[in-house]
Structure 1
């Protein structure tokens, strides 16, 4: 019953008390948004540029990113910077982190925003991970680990002594119990479980990673939160069949709502005190599902992720 109530609360939220106009001036803040060439990521980058942040758009499609950067400059008067990043390839992630580190010493906010939804179940990452878990969890974990020195430096330079990592999860995590480690790479069980399970599991992975990051690095000024951005109309649903897109459209909100909760997480003074918390639409403190609150599972996942990076990066 608790899971159903949580799902309803997150799917049909009350009016937001937070608006992008509430974002403080971000002059001097260096921010990365993964997957910012479209959808929620694009709108997040726009709001950050509107408030004078130095924004890096980290995505794999250079042409699409160039178009987005051009559009955002017209809309905001400020120009974002492109970093080529393919979260489905650990080598690309390392190159992206090295490129960023050659340009910046400090990072104040990292939005682990990029995502895919229900790709063909056959799809794997370059290192053979399930595409959804590979992009959402393995890729963002590796990127965050590589950027930890910049995040710690960013915290030290900030007036509040904090930098932030904002991890985009989903209410789909509520439908999953635990992490089935036998489905994270190619296996008959992975295909048997199917795309919706694999998506929900990956989003549970986002929450667990976020919580363990908070536990390990909170004392160094890193504020790690996970969140459900809400059911938003965007091109992430493009892999659904026509009837699935129609059903999804019945419970979705305009794209303008998409960035609200993560902008709140990444910029509001009050969320700097929410290390290890789970946030829900629109810009509210919430509670993740039971598995998302399991500290032992979070440690087990972190250990597994460390092992994968050591073996494959």
Structure 2
């Protein structure tokens, strides 16, 4: 009960955006940056002097958001990176576009995602929409950007961050974290239902973060996952109306400043350079994560599955 109450009613944050040091000369990519906590991260990083790439699948939504942030901050170094995480071809195009323009990357925020859409929705390549976009899409993006991340980390070890948006819902995933049979269309996925697919995708974010930390931490890369907390965003739009009303009126916290606390602490604070492989909870505290997300065999299995699916895609596009 103590842990549950601490999640619903976290202690007052000791961290605020004012604590973030100057980010001049640093470059960031934020997926899902045109709304919710992604937009808060874009706003704060831009105001602190970073060069920001707002990665979004919707140019129509992103451009007004970019203009809004320019007006709010008085800064202009924010750019659209068109990216649809539910289409691996779009992920490749976005990574290629970024690396044509930049040879450094200090912060990659794997933040974009979707929550409990209709179960029949799939990615462009036929994966469950939630797992395919949130886990596989981000895994491919990270893989493509690893060379520039690692070369940047050579210059600034501990200052290059890959930050993954997970959720306390990861604790409700099936035993072992994921059921491979549910990741593509079929009766197993339909039976699992949209909520279980959400839980598995958030487990995947936490486990992938841990695996990335283990594989590349020795090369100066810092990988951190976090639970954003109960934040008032459009992510809950697919919930039943009564449940959303109760959640919105009683349990949700305002997007600003609460929505940006963990993601920005992980990405910008010097002391977070020592948190490789850690999991943050509201508000910007090291917290507990489901132990199996740190099981090396399960992390390796998830990593291998992502690598195999990426290899299938890359082979198909070469034919």
Of 62-71 and 236-245, the range deviating more from structure 2? 236-245
The structure 2 residue matched to 1:130, chosen from 123, 128, 131, is 128
Give the aligned partner of residue 46 of structure 2: 49
In structure 2, runs of 5+ residues without a counterpart are: 315-319
TM-score w.r.t. length of structure 2? 0.94
1:243 CA drift (Å)? 1.4
Give the aligned partner of residue 219 of structure 2: 220
Indicate conservation of the 8 Å contact 1:156/1:162, yes or no: no
CA distance in 2, matches of 1:6, 1:306: 35
Give the aligned partner of residue 102 of structure 1: 100
CA distance in 1, matches of 2:82, 2:211: 27
1:12 CA drift (Å)? 2.1
Give the aligned partner of residue 268 of structure 1: 269
Residue 301 in 1 paired to residue 299 in 2? no
Report the 3-state secondary structure (helix = DSSP H, G, I; strand = E; otherwise coil) of the residue aligned with 2:140: helix
Superposed CA RMSD = 1.2
Indicate conservation of the 8 Å contact 2:158/2:222, yes or no: no
CA shift digits 1:159-209 (9 cap, x unpaired): x55310000000001112321111111121111111111101100000110
Residue 11 in 1 paired to residue 8 in 2? yes
Report the 3-state secondary structure (helix = DSSP H, G, I; strand = E; otherwise coil) of the residue aligned with 1:166: strand
Residue 139 in 1 paired to residue 137 in 2? yes
Indicate conservation of the 8 Å contact 2:42/2:52, yes or no: yes
Give the aligned partner of residue 242 of structure 1: 241
Change (3 A) 1:274 1:187: same
TM-score w.r.t. length of structure 1? 0.96
In structure 1, runs of 5+ residues without a counterpart are: none
1:293 CA drift (Å)? 2.4
Residue 88 in 1 paired to residue 86 in 2? yes
CA distance in 1, matches of 2:222, 2:4: 25
Q: Across the two proteins, how many residue pairs are aligned to each other?
A: 309
Give the aligned partner of residue 67 of structure 1: 64
1:21 CA drift (Å)? 0.8
CA distance in 2, matches of 1:247, 1:206: 27
Give the aligned partner of residue 252 of structure 1: 252
CA distance in 2, matches of 1:237, 1:99: 31
Of 160-169 and 33-42, the range deviating more from structure 2? 160-169
CA distance in 2, matches of 1:279, 1:66: 31
CA shift digits 1:92-119 (9 cap, x unpaired): 0000000000000010000001111111
Indicate conservation of the 8 Å contact 1:7/1:174, yes or no: no
Residue 36 in 1 paired to residue 33 in 2? yes
Indicate conservation of the 8 Å contact 1:27/1:52, yes or no: yes
